[in-house]
Amino acid sequence: MLDADLADPYGVETGILNRAVKRNIDRFPSDFMFQLTEEEFKNLRFHFGTSSKWDGPRYPPYAFTELLIADR
C-alpha cells in the first residue's frame, strides 16, 4: 500500500503522513515500510501511463506492508 493510499483512511494529506513517519522513523522497521527506489518509481509512473502532466507525487512514495496496517 502506498503512502497516499494509507493517508486517505486517516483523513490526512500524504505529505502530513510522510512528515509524521519521518518524525517517528524508529517505529517503522524496514520490513513494515520502505521507500521506493527511483527505478521502481519510474516503473510505477510508466505502469499508469502517465504523461508529462501527471498529477502524482514528485518523489518516490513510501510503501507499507499489510503487517503494519493489521497491527494498527
pTM of this structure: 0.68
| Predicted pLDDT of residue 67 | 60
Q: What is the pLDDT of residues 30-41, one digit of tens each?
A: 788 888 999 998
| Predicted pLDDT of residue 11 | 94
- Please provide the DSSP assignment of 10-60 as one string: HT--HHHHHHHHHHTGGGS-TTTEEEPPHHHHHHHHHHTT--TT--S-SSP
Structural domain including 12 reads 3-71
| Predicted pLDDT of residue 29 | 79
Number of domains in the chain: 1
| Predicted pLDDT of residue 68 | 47
User: Which segments in the chain show pLDDT lower than 50?
Assistant: 68, 70
